[in-house]
């Protein structure tokens, strides 16, 4: 070893000592260098992992985990400092990505974040909770008016950037102090509740959270549970149908029923159809729920057939989401077939808005249903999409005049009423005409003179239970409305 290192053998002790010392020094230096490299590598790796964990990889903004730990630390300290969370939400952002592509959406988010960053006041931090949700964590603000001002500024910014886009913007504000919050998830949950309330007020809006909203969400959750129970076990559910008669104006004879869903909640009692249908749509239950209603209506039609009662057709409202599904036609025919009702006993009511999406596709599906004996009625006619050039090509059998037109019959100025024109046009196209919401004898007489075929409304009958509808048909199926007073 000495010859290799020093050029001669290690013969003296002092040379051996020097050599060993030098080797140890070199070894220690190498070890320290290796440790330093490992420490630096670990530091760099931790920085990268930390960035992945605490920052959004696209925008570079602090993310939801960073927000959660920041707020959790503050909650643990239990400081008596006013704190609040202001959350901005981009509504229908998925539609924007679908229409213009993800890169366009990312650029828009980057632009919004850059502008939101400029709104950060003292003791305020901005976080990106998700691709379309952003949160300000505000500490030590002066008053609620300061939060109002911030909410309005955020909303104004969203309006500037989104007004020309198929996207809306809403802001939810939660004041933490005195709220009894134990973790960040509770705060965000309530902020999202406030956003939901703001969205009901329009495309752009802001709202402060309060405990009454939490009660509304609890009510919504209960209604959702009962709807899901109805889908899982219809026989034991609180969902049922009532049937409003449709009456031939010429002889007051019942020529059909409209099947209407009702919910008698175990907790709240009777729930408005508008409310539980909104919950079904929001919770993505509207398609299976609509299928359930069609199945129940088919059973009622089968009961009429079994009893030999000429109660006409049973009409069921169809949602736009239901109709646009690829399996819509097959599902309808299957459900009607399983109910045992003849297809000729079923009528589907659709709204004009469904033709916005794909006129030819929707019309083709309706044509197939008609070929199988199911009638189609265009509901709320006159207030929606259809133009004269398209109406004559629709695969429908009847139109229903919207209640808003019927209500105008009671106005003193009759010149602006377009009902006779609607009826005349529909008859030229060989469509039957039904008017809904008929509540007075004056409305009934006017519609009769205008040539309307069928009416329904409280003048003739409220919606009936199945037993009441059967009894009415067994007694002859004729309804005699009150006579209008002579002028």
Q: Of the ranges 9-23, 66-80, 396-410, 443-457, which is most confident?
A: 443-457
The pLDDT tens digits of the residues spanning 310-324 come to: 889 999 999 888 888
- Does the pLDDT value for residue 118 go beyond 60? yes
Instruction: Assign 378 a pLDDT band (cuts: 50, 70, 90).
Output: very high
CA-CA distance, 211 to 214, in Å (whole number)? 5
- Does the pLDDT value for residue 260 go beyond 70? yes
Q: What would the mean pLDDT of 83-98 be, rounded to a whole number?
A: 87
Q: What would the mean pLDDT of 354-380 be, rounded to a whole number?
A: 88
- Does the pLDDT value for residue 485 go beyond 70? no
CA-CA distance, 87 to 175, in Å (whole number)? 12
**What's the pLDDT score for residue 11?**
56
- Does the pLDDT value for residue 52 go beyond 90? no
**What's the pLDDT score for residue 100?**
80
**What's the pLDDT score for residue 57?**
82
Burial 68-104 (b: 16+ CB within 10 A, else e): bebbeebbeeeeeebbbbbbbbbbbbeebbeeeeeee
Which residues lie closer than 8 Å to 330 by C-beta, 6 or more apart? Answer: none
**What's the pLDDT score for residue 217?**
86
Backbone angles phi, psi at 255, to 5 degrees: -120, 5
Q: Which of 40-44, 172-176, 233-237 has the weakest average pLDDT?
A: 40-44
CA-CA distance, 449 to 436, in Å (whole number)? 16
Instruction: Assign 186 a pLDDT band (cuts: 50, 70, 90).
Output: very high
The pLDDT tens digits of the residues spanning 11-42 come to: 556 555 666 677 778 788 888 888 888 887 76
Query: Across the chain, what does the average pLDDT equal?
Result: 87
- What DSSP line would sit under 237-255, residue for residue? SSEEEEEEEEEETTT-BEE
Backbone angles phi, psi at 58, to 5 degrees: -90, -50
């Amino acid at each position: 070893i000495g010859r290799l290192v020093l050029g001669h053998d290690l013969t003296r002790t002092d040379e051996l000592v020097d050599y060993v010392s030098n080797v140890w020094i070199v070894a220690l230096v190498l070890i320290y260098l290796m440790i330093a490299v490992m420490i630096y590598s670990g530091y760099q790796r931790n920085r990268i992992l930390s960035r992945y964990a605490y920052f959004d990889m696209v925008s570079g903004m602090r993310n939801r985990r960073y927000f959660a730990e920041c707020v959790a630390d503050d909650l643990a300290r239990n400081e008596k400092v006013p704190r609040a969370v202001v959350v901005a939400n981009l509504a229908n952002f998925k539609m924007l990505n679908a229409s213009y592509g993800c890169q366009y959406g990312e650029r828009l988010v980057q632009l919004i974040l850059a502008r939101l960053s400029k709104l950060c006041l003292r003791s305020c931090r901005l976080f990106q909770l998700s691709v379309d949700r952003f949160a300000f964590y505000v500490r030590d603000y002066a008053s609620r008016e300061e939060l109002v001002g911030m909410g309005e500024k955020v909303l104004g910014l969203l309006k500037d950037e989104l007004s020309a886009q198929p996207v809306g913007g809403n802001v939810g504000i939660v004041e933490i102090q005195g709220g009894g919050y134990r973790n960040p998830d509770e705060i965000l949950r309530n902020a999202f509740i406030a956003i939901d309330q703001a969205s009901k007020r329009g495309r752009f809006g802001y709202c402060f959270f309060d405990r009454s909203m939490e009660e509304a969400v609890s009510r919504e959750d209960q209604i959702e549970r009962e709807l899901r129970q109805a889908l899982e076990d219809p026989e034991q559910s609180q969902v049922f149908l009532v049937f409003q008669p449709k009456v031939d104006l010429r002889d007051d004879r019942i020529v059909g029923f409209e099947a209407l869903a009702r919910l008698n909640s175990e907790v709240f009692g009777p729930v408005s159809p508008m409310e539980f249908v909104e919950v079904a749509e929001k919770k993505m239950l509207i398609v299976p729920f609509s299928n359930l209603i069609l199945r129940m209506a088919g059973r009622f039609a089968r009961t009429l057939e079994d009893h030999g009662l000429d109660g006409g057709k049973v009409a069921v409202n169809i949602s736009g989401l239901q109709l646009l599904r690829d399996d819509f036609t097959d599902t309808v025919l299957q459900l009607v077939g399983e109910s045992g009702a003849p297809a000729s006993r079923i009528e589907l009511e659709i709204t004009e808005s469904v033709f916005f999406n794909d006129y030819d596709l929707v019309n083709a599906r309706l044509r197939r249903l008609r070929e199988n004996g199911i009638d189609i009625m265009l509901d709320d006619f006159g207030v929606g999409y259809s133009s004269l050039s398209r109406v004559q090509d629709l695969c429908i059998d009847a139109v229903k005049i919207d209640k808003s037109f019927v209500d105008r019959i009671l106005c003193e100025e009759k010149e602006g009423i377009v009902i006779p024109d609607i009826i005349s046009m529909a008859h030229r196209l060989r469509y039957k005409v039904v008017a809904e919401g008929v509540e007075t004898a004056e409305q009934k007489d006017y519609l009769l003179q205008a040539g309307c075929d069928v009416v329904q409304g409280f003048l003739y009958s409220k919606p009936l239970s199945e037993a009441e509808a059967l009894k009415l048909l067994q007694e002859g199926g004729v309804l005699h409305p009150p006579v209008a007073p002579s002028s």
